[in-house]
Amino acid sequence: SQTIHQWPATLVQPVGSPLSLECTVEGTSNPNLYWYRQAAGRGLQLLFYSVGIGQISSEVPQNLSASRPQDRQFILSSKKLLLSDSGFYLCAWNRGGRSYNEQFFGPGTRLTVL
Amino acid sequence: DQQVKQNSPSLSVQEGRISILNCDYTNSMFDYFLWYKKYPAEGPTFLISISSIKDKNEDGRFTVFLNKSAKHLSLHIVPSQPGDSAVYFCAAIEEASGTYKYIFGTGTRLKVLA
């Protein structure tokens, strides 16, 4: 069966510090991968998605970036965190291809920027 | 510009009664919709989906209705149980380059009272 991991589970970082959140998927190959953010009182905002190694699509302008160095690894980064980067970050995957299928989410990372 | 809207941020229902969660969308090109359930500090889990060529899909206590002319869908939970208390997100799928993007609403917090 497929599983998705995210770490760390919680993170407290000062403003201006760098960020690296990691997501890995097991039990599948060539997944589509997604990063979302859920800010307080808001829905799930799609940040990045990837259909393959090295292929990243960005949804919103921001100081975050994403990379996919391996097929089942997705990394969310920032060089300098802002207060507004605080939120709950979720990684998700679904099967690649042209058919509709549901996304499966990881457990999330709670980021607090002070 | 919110393409998928859940106008009720919260809903309280008595145990055993029906819960009705609503969702409106603006893009008539969406042709697949999903509902997710989310507990605090966890990733969302998939509940039920519907294709735009259908107007109803049922799975146990959960039924999703789609009114394409009104660009409206709803999730019915019958009978409601205390364990159903969670935040519910509706999502629409939009075709993107090489994959599909999931556009989520802002969520409705359901509280089922014992």
CA distance, residue B73 to nearest chain A CA (Å): 17
Summarised one tens digit per residue, pLDDT across range B30-88 is 889 999 999 988 899 999 999 999 999 999 999 999 999 999 999 999 999 999 999 99
pLDDT per position as a tens digit, A14-31: 999 999 999 999 999 999
Q: What is the pLDDT of residue B98?
A: 67
Residues in B touching A49 (Cβ below 8 Å): 96, 99, 101
Looking at residue B6, its pLDDT comes to 94
Average pLDDT for residues B99-110, to the nearest whole number? 89
Show Cβ contacts of residue B27 under 8 Å, excluding neighbours closer than 6 positions: B3, B92, B94, B103
Contacts of B96 in chain A (CB under 8 A): 49, 57
Chain segment A48-93, per-residue pLDDT in tens: 999 899 999 888 767 899 999 999 999 999 999 999 999 999 999 9
pLDDT of residue A15: 97
pLDDT for res A59: 84
**pLDDT in the model for residue B100:** 79
- Chain A: nearest CA to B32, how far in angstroms? 8
- In this predicted structure, the answer to whether residue A45 has a pLDDT above a threshold of 80 is yes
pLDDT given at position A60: 77
pLDDT of residue A99: 67
Q: Considering only CB atoms, which chain A residues are within 8 Å of B107?
A: 43-44
- Across the interface, of B32, B93, B99, the residue whose CB is closest to A51 is B99
Q: Looking at the complex, report in whole angstroms how far the Cα of residue B14 sits from the nearest Cα belonging to chain A.
A: 24
- With a cut of 70, say whether residue A2 has pLDDT above it: yes
A106:B98 CB<8 A: no
DSSP class per residue in chain A: --EEEEE-SEEEE-TT--EEEEEEEES-SSEEEEEEEE-TT--EEEEEEEEETTEEEE-S-SSEEEEEEETTEEEEEESS--GGG-EEEEEEEEE-SSS----EE---EEEEE-
CB contact under 8 A, B96 and A108: no
pLDDT of residue B1: 66
**Per-residue pLDDT at A72:** 95
Q: Which residues pair with A110 in a beta bridge?
A: A10, A88
Q: Indicate the residue type of A72.
A: R
In sequence order, what are the residues at sequence separation of 6 or more whose Cβ sits closer than 8 angstroms to the Cβ of residue B60?
none
Contact B105 A43 (CB under 8 A): yes
- What residue type is assigned to position A84 of the chain? S
End-to-end CA distance of chain A: 38
